[in-house]
């Protein structure tokens, strides 16, 4: 038997330690939570995608009473960016969430498995990494590539 290991390096920063562009992206992700349609979970998630020309595209989670027909904030933003700006590269995404009481969550929120797969394919398609910023009031996690969150991803080589 061979033992293999995954290693993920990520950074935890305060908002004041972020670059001005990263601070803007965090602010936009937080604002995007206001656009969430989440009457069932009351868990409002916002995502802000940064494109290589500086454009920022927002997305929010969109629930539906016919579960699981809703959509996560990350996929909403990435799919919109890909459909409206097909020739642009996604360079970063920030995710933020507010709980049912209306306050931002302390611990940074992480994308679900489906969103990780979509971000992984985005990296593969554009042949460049997507920096991920995960916002929480206790700090912001910075991950240089979704490959760190999804090290064994499904891709076209399996088909």
The b/e string for 78-87 (b: 16+ C-beta within 10 A; e otherwise) is bbebbeebee
Q: What is the DSSP string of 106-134?
A: SSPP---HHHHHHHHHHHHHHTS--EEEE
- Closest CA relative to residue 78, chosen from 62, 93, 99: 93
3-state DSSP percent of the chain in helix, strand and coil, to 5: 30, 25, 45
Among 22, 63, 74, 123, the active-site one is: 74
H/E element holding 22?
Answer: helix 20-32
CA gap 119, 153 in Å, rounded: 10
- Classify residue 139 as left (phi > 0), alpha (psi -120 to 50) or beta: left
Identify whether 74 is a catalytic site residue.
yes
Catalytic residues, which ones?
74
């Amino acid at each position: 038997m061979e033992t293999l290991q995954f290693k993920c390096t990520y950074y935890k920063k305060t908002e004041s330690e972020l670059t001005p562009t990263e601070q803007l992206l965090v602010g936009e992700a937080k604002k995007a939570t206001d656009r969430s349609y989440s009457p069932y979970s009351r868990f409002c998630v916002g995502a802000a995608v940064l494109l290589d020309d500086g454009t920022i595209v927002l997305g929010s989670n969109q629930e539906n009473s016919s579960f699981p027909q809703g959509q996560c904030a990350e996929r909403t933003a990435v799919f919109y960016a890909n459909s409206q700006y097909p020739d642009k590269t996604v360079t970063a995404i920030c995710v933020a969430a507010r709980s049912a009481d209306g306050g931002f969550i302390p611990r940074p929120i992480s994308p679900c498995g489906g969103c990780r797969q979509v971000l992984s394919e985005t990296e593969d398609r554009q042949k460049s990494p997507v920096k991920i910023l995960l916002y929480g009031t206790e700090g912001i996690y910075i991950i240089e590539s979704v490959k760190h969150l999804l090290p064994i991803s499904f891709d076209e080589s399996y088909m």
